[in-house]
């Protein structure tokens, strides 16, 4: 990819050999992926998408973990008559849920522009 010029459409995330407009999205100009500034721009788009994905899944995991932690404390208190305290349920449920959310986000997120930005990632 480093020897030739490739032009990227940010809408469909595909590369084209000519510097014109995207054939699929005629209103979208193609960006020169061999330009260093464009590569940094594409890295920024990937960073924004990663932050959005991680933020969503970590938040959902925290909420599910807190609810599960409180339910588990209530269940243990009801069935076994052992008081663990709801604060511990909140804390440990939140940690477990946040960890699970991070794992899900890590599995789901795939950078869209890595093929164009990996040469810059090797330099940094």
- Read off the pLDDT of residues 52-66 as tens digits, 9 standing for 90 and up: 999 999 999 999 999
Residue 32: DSSP 8-state: E
First to last CA, the chain: 18
Structure tokens at 55: 């933020």
- φ/ψ bin of 30: left (φ > 0), alpha (ψ from -120 to 50), beta (otherwise): beta
Summarize pLDDT for 19-76 with one digit per residue, the tens. 778 888 888 888 888 888 988 899 999 999 999 999 999 999 999 999 998 888 888 8
| Whole-angstrom distance, CA of residue 65 vs CA of residue 89 | 9
From the CA atom positions of the chain, what is the Rg in Å? 23
Model pLDDT, residue 123: 56
| Helical segments of the chain, H only | 36-79, 86-108, 114-123
Distance, in Å, from the CA atom of 73 to the CA atom of 84, rounded to the nearest integer, reads 6
* Residue % of the chain over a pLDDT of 70: 93
In DSSP terms, 104 is beta-bridged to none
């Amino acid at each position: 990819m480093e020897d030739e010029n490739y032009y990227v459409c940010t809408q469909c995330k595909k590369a084209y050999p000519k510097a014109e407009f995207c054939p699929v999205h005629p209103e979208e100009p193609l960006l020169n992926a061999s330009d260093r500034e464009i590569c940094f721009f594409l890295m920024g788009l990937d960073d924004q998408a990663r932050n959005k994905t991680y933020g969503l899944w970590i938040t959902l995991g925290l909420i599910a973990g807190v609810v599960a932690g409180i339910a588990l404390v209530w269940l243990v208190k009801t069935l076994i008559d052992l008081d663990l305290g709801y604060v511990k349920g909140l804390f440990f449920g939140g940690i477990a849920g946040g960890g699970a959310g991070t794992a899900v986000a890590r599995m789901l997120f795939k950078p869209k522009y890595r093929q164009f930005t990996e040469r810059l990632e090797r330099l940094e």
